[in-house]
Amino acid sequence: MDTGLMQAAWRREIARIIALLLVFGLAGGLLGHVWAGLVIALAICLALQLRMLRWLSRWVVHPKRVDLPDPTGVWGEVFEQLLEMQKRNRKRKKRLAAIVAEFQSSTAALPDGAVVMSSRGEIVWFNSSAQILLGLRSPQDVGQRIANLVRHPSFANYLAVEQFESDVELISPINEHVTLAMRIIPYGEGQRLLIVRDVSEHRRLEVMRRDFVSNASHELRTPLTVLRGYLDMMEPDTRGKGALLEWKAPIGEMRAQATRMESLITDLLKLARLESDSSVARQELIDVPHLLHRIAEDTRRLSPDRHTVEAAIEADIKLLGRDSEFHSLCQNLLQNAIQYSPDGGAVRLRWWGDEDGAHLSVADSGLGIDEADIPRLTERFYRVDVARSRSRGGTGLGLAIVKHALEHHEARLEIISQPGIGSTFICHFPAHRVQRAQPMVVNG
């Protein structure tokens, strides 16, 4: 709004009112009724203002059916500015409509389903892919709550918890052979965007990969057993004045590599089994203190002179889970700590509980790990120090096995490390899996 024009309009309006008052005041004075003339002048001014206000109120209610007049003065400037504002709003609405139309046309072409929801989970809009993947209908399902249309316990829990950092997977409500990955992205003022992807092919390829690894590992065991048998037969001839004395070093290297291959095959089979098993199958109450004491003692026997194994274990805390998997993850963490600790170093094992659940930590006094490497430690075959891991017989699968075993116990792995000081691997188990007796601390 031009402030100068409005001020000029106000000056003209005031001048007209003063002129009207003077004319009617003089006319009333000539007739002997000055106040009557002034009252008539004010009544005329009020009538004109009320007429403009009535026109404005009618235009506000029905802006498309009522045309504003074109008066002079303040009302003329006000009406002109209102019409300019109306034009700008129409242009803005056209731009917004064009943006919305472009968004809808672009999302309609996406292979992934897209559902726009309100803060209460009510469907505002969805694309054609969402119709195909979720069986939504337009316009019947617009305004419906998504939880009433996608009835799956995992999705209902996903909505209730409101932790949308990761996806949730479930079977399609209209096709039991289709697996969907769904993720909610909050945006704007309480609005949410639900992205739906068909991951059936990806899951099928994962199953094929697991089956291939499992079958290949089983098939490799037979020829490897034969090779180990021949090496065992040849090994006595490499001693003393045996016929194969000059082959002692090559045969020893072959035995070491065969042993490493056996460990690799064993870990591959274990990892394939962990990936294929259900996380809720075969749950039992694990006597964790007894198991940890046994594993710690076995570790001490295997490395009696090179490392010190310290254990601080609360004897009253047991865990609901799978004994074999828990044993595997503890053993892998201890072996990993031993492998990366220097001779004479200490490995500290701890098991304790609190209000958040139970916790298992394995700390070493090794070289430590760079912060950039920590997120990738649980990947298959990922090694921080490739040469050292291979020289010690590592397979690169230990922490991957730990990761999957923890997932089956609804637990998470925390890694704390600093180069030159050492590393600590902490497993956090949820409280609902913990069973506690009378507290007692056993140090060993």
Instruction: State pLDDT tens for residues 56-101.
Output: 787 777 777 777 777 766 777 777 777 788 788 888 888 887 777 7
Residues 271 and 291 in one domain: no
Number of structural domains, the chain? 4
Residues 214 and 188 in one domain: no
Residues 59 and 121 in one domain: no
pLDDT above 70 for 443: no
Give the pLDDT of residue 137.
Answer: 87
Q: Which residue, of 80, 103, 126, is where some domain finishes?
A: 103
Residues 333 and 425 in one domain: yes
Q: Which domain holds residue 86?
A: 3-103
pLDDT above 90 for 427: yes
- What average pLDDT score do residues 120-131 get? 86
With cut-offs at 50, 70 and 90, classify the pLDDT of residue 419.
confident
User: What's the CA gap between 238 and 430, in Å, rounded?
Assistant: 54
Residues 301 and 382 in one domain: yes
- What average pLDDT score do residues 311-333 get? 88
**pLDDT tens digits for range 185-220:** 888 778 888 899 888 888 887 777 777 777 777 777
Residues 305 and 385 in one domain: yes
**pLDDT tens digits for range 233-272:** 888 888 877 777 788 888 888 888 888 787 777 777 777 7
Residues 292 and 407 in one domain: yes
Q: Which residue, of 241, 276, 311, is where some domain finishes?
A: 276
Residues 209 and 190 in one domain: no
pLDDT above 80 for 297: yes
Span of 121-135, 201-215, 286-300, 362-376 with lowest mean pLDDT: 201-215
Residues 189 and 47 in one domain: no
Give the pLDDT of residue 392.
Answer: 53
Residues 313 and 404 in one domain: yes
- What average pLDDT score do residues 172-191 get? 86
Is the pTM higher than 0.85? The answer reads no
**pLDDT tens digits for range 345-401:** 888 999 998 888 899 999 988 888 888 888 888 877 766 654 445 555 556 677 888
Give the pLDDT of residue 441.
Answer: 47
